[in-house]
């Protein structure tokens, strides 16, 4: 995955609580085990008037300009609850959303975000409402600036400092690594250990 350091982008408000992974991508849209080809199924039941014809619902926020160019999603509590399907994060990332800001997340979904290059940020409802108000005035102009290195969000004349994220999760995103990549970075140490272990235990 690509390293995440800083970014500036349009924020789209999808201010609903308990948005589950089946809503993020319905099971019928999961036609591949690849990370590609899933963006069209993102929020399919909300994005389309007809799922079969793919006629867009003009009332859905991500179909409206400029929110259809959003890189940041604002939402309500318990975002990503429900099943553990990793496809939900794959669809979000492929569509173009790189940051989700919500009061809370489903725990498995949160971890899947970290593993796939999406930054999940926990903020309280008051701060999210303030950001939403700022964005709504002029969503094209009033972009958010996210600095993961320093854990800062800038908007209007406000700065949110030290947004919560585990240090290891922060390092994964900054370096563009998942757990497998992190292990492979230590392959020389692993090989040295295995060689030493075989030397001490030749019968194995």
Count of structural domains, the chain:
1
129 Cβ contact list (under 8 Å, min separation 6): none
What is the reported pLDDT for 80?
Answer: 98
The answer to whether residue 189 sits within a structural domain is no
The answer to whether residue 90 sits within a structural domain is yes
pLDDT tens digits for the chain (204 residues)?
Answer: 889 999 999 999 999 999 999 999 999 999 888 888 999 999 999 999 998 899 999 999 999 999 999 999 999 999 999 999 999 999 999 999 999 999 999 999 999 999 999 999 999 999 999 999 999 999 999 999 999 999 999 999 899 999 999 999 999 999 997 666 666 565 676 666 677 667 788 776
CATH number at residue 18: 3.20.19.10
**Cis ω before 66 (30° cut-off from 0):** yes
Supply the pTM of this predicted model: 0.89
How far is residue 20's CA from residue 81's CA, in Å, rounded to a whole number?
Answer: 5
How far is residue 98's CA from residue 89's CA, in Å, rounded to a whole number?
Answer: 10
What is the reported pLDDT for 115?
Answer: 94
The answer to whether residue 200 sits within a structural domain is no
What is the reported pLDDT for 180?
Answer: 63
How far is residue 51's CA from residue 91's CA, in Å, rounded to a whole number?
Answer: 16
The answer to whether residue 185 sits within a structural domain is no
The answer to whether residue 198 sits within a structural domain is no
The range of the structural domain enclosing residue 44 comes to 6-175
């Amino acid at each position: 995955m690509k390293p995440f350091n800083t970014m500036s982008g349009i924020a789209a408000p999808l201010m609903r609580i308990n948005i589950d992974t089946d809503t993020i991508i319905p099971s019928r849209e999961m036609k591949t085990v690849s990370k590609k080809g899933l963006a069209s199924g993102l929020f399919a039941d909300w994005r389309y008037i007809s799922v079969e014809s793919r006629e867009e619902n003009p009332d859905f926020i991500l179909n409206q300009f400029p929110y259809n160019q959003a890189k940041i999603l604002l939402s309500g509590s318990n975002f990503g609850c429900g099943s553990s399907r990793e496809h939900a994060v794959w669809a979000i990332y492929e569509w173009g959303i790189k940051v989700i800001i919500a009061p809370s997340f489903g725990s498995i979904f949160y971890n899947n975000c970290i593993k796939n290059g999406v930054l999940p940020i926990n903020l309280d409802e008051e701060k999210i409402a303030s950001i939403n108000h700022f964005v709504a005035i002029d969503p094209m102009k009033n972009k958010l600036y996210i600095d993961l290195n320093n854990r800062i969000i800038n908007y209007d004349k406000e700065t949110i400092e030290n947004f919560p994220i585990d240090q290891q999760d922060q390092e994964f995103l900054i370096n563009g690594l998942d757990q497998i990549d992190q292990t492979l970075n230590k392959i020389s140490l692993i090989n040295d250990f295995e060689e030493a272990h075989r030397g001490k235990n030749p019968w194995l």
